[in-house]
Amino acid sequence: MAQGISFPGSERAPVPGAQAVGSADPKERFDVSVILKRRAAGAFAERAANLHAKGAARRPSLSRADYARQFGANPEDLAAVREFAASHGLSVKEEHGVRRTVILSGTVAQFDEAFGIDLKRFEHPNGSYRGWSGPIRLPKELHGIVESVLGLDNRPQAKPHFRVRGGGGASVARAASASFTPLQVASLYGFPAGSGGGETIALVELGGGFVASDLSTYFSGLGVSPQPTVLAVGVDGAANAPTGQASGPDGEVMLDIEVAGSIAPGAKIAVYFAPNTDAGFLDAITTAIHDATNAPSVISISWGGPESSWSAQALTSFDQAFQEAGALGITVCTAAGDNGSGDGLSGDHVDFPSSSPHVLACGGTTLTSSGSSIARESTWNDGPGEGATGGGVSTTFALPSWQDGLSAKKTAGKAAALALRGVPDVAGDADPATGYGVRVDGQNLVFGGTSAVAPLWASLVARINALRGGAVGFVNPTLYAHATALNDITQGNNGDFTATAGWDACTGLGSPKGAAVAAALGTPAAP
């Protein structure tokens, strides 16, 4: 193995219950993404900090061309990675200076030698994966220029955050309560008129696919005409690949497209498909951010996993990517999770990427209507094992300035002032019992989950961008400064945290008053 310097933050804890069962096949071939640090990092950090400033005059968004010129990877750093690859028999499969990413291809034996590790096969009750123990090692010439090395470990990194009504328990017992079309939900929330014409909504997907005939049938049934343009963008060898299983990743893909496409049918819907690994997930996000052809102004992500399940280097690189999105005027909406305050683990855990302070984290509510108005809205919680909105306090990310002075109230106990990033920021209808009628793999079903809330907010942003003639970009400071533009949710809990007046760790600031949100974000004469 190559002798190098230990790379801090590259360690990965095994999947709970996993055990190494032997060495990985030394001839197995795969790809690894090496993420480099950006040029002019100090200048970029100052610009990113300006996005968070309360009341400060915000700089105009960078163009993609300006970002590439000022803040892409240093050409000398790219050359150093090429030299490193050649010295270990690795090939450079792709090189993206603007994304600061070099994708290397090689065998297990070559990557073992290059990064000073011993890749093994791990097995656990739910599957198997390739991984290693301890940190990776980098040669001296790469230290200080590499931000992360992702893809050596190929465990599934994220799960989709949707729930199908009728799956059992509380959802079945309450199945007769209500369901809505996405257009009805948008109407209840008072979305401003418009179709999002001229905008592009990017959807990040880590599996599954869409069936064009199902989309056509669905949009026709809603009277959406003309129908949205939906295109697939393959990343790292992935593609639109429907499985025929509505309860699998197809459900996520179709839910995202149908919610966003019905509310903002004038927008192009670009679906970025990538492998479900930390490398694939990040590559899909950075591809969408820097896609000069489709030029998304808003990105919706409905996949995630407990913050504690990510490596430190991955958390850093994803958060850096979201900072890039903000600097480019792109809004990133993420689902806060469907497993309550524990995010499927014991104790309190928030979901990532929603815990990044550079995304708009979307929690979930139970929404009931009376005619064309909201009758009642509370925190979504169907009970243990049945689904509840994610939310809580990060253990990694610093408290953003726009959350200064806020508190998270425990269900049993007192409110405690936030010391780190609180999740979520906003909310929307997510309960399967008051969920969204969708069509997946030839079936008409009702879906819930915070997966629906991310594209709901993304479509609102697309409408607002089109109305104002420019992208709103990073919206969090503005929304926190205009909290009355949201419906404050004060009832319910997500397990360990309870809803209160004002921001809380269940539903954030609340659900949108669409026209008021548009006005707060600078839309002239919002309808």
Residue in 71, 51, 49, 70 with CA at minimum distance from that of residue 61: 51
Q: How far apart, in whole angstroms, are the C-alpha atoms of residue 309 and residue 494?
A: 21
Compute the Cα dihedral for 231, 237, 243, 246 and give only its sign: negative
Amino acid at 223: G
Let me know if 252 is a catalytic residue: yes
The answer for residues whose C-beta is within 8 angstroms of residue 392's C-beta and 6 or more apart is 341, 343, 348, 349, 350, 408, 422, 423, 496, 497, 505
Catalytic residue among 33, 341, 378, 451: 451
In the beta sheet, which residues pair with residue 204?
272, 301
Residue 287: strand, helix, or coil: helix
Catalytic residue among 112, 252, 425, 496: 252
The DSSP bridge pattern shows strands 298-301 and 331-335 to be: parallel
In the beta sheet, which residues pair with residue 354?
none
CB 359 within 8 A of CB 353: yes
CB 156 within 8 A of CB 302: no
Residue 139: strand, helix, or coil: coil
Residue 447: strand, helix, or coil: strand
Q: How far apart, in whole angstroms, are the C-alpha atoms of residue 335 and residue 353?
A: 8
Q: How far apart, in whole angstroms, are the C-alpha atoms of residue 527 and residue 516?
A: 10
The DSSP 8-state label assigned to residue 262 in this structure reads H
Q: How far apart, in whole angstroms, are the C-alpha atoms of residue 485 and residue 521?
A: 10
CA distances (Å), origin 191, targets 62, 454, 492, 525, 526 = 28, 15, 25, 13, 10
Catalytic residue among 256, 343, 377, 382: 256
405-428 b/e (C-beta count within 10 Å ≥ 16 → b): ebbbbbeeeeeeebebbbbbbbbb
Residue in 284, 32, 14, 285 with CA at minimum distance from that of residue 148: 32
Let me know if 28 is a catalytic residue: no
Let me know if 504 is a catalytic residue: no
The DSSP 8-state label assigned to residue 166 in this structure reads T
Q: Is the peptide bond before 160 cis (omega within 30 degrees of 0)?
A: no
Which secondary structure element, helix H or strand E, spans residue 202, and what is its range? strand 200-205
CA 394 to chain centre: 15
What secondary structure, in 3-state letters, does 23-41 show? ECCCCCEEEEEEEECECCH
Residue 192: strand, helix, or coil: coil
CA atoms within 13 A on the CB side of 408: 26
Q: Which residues are known catalytic residues? A: 252, 256, 451
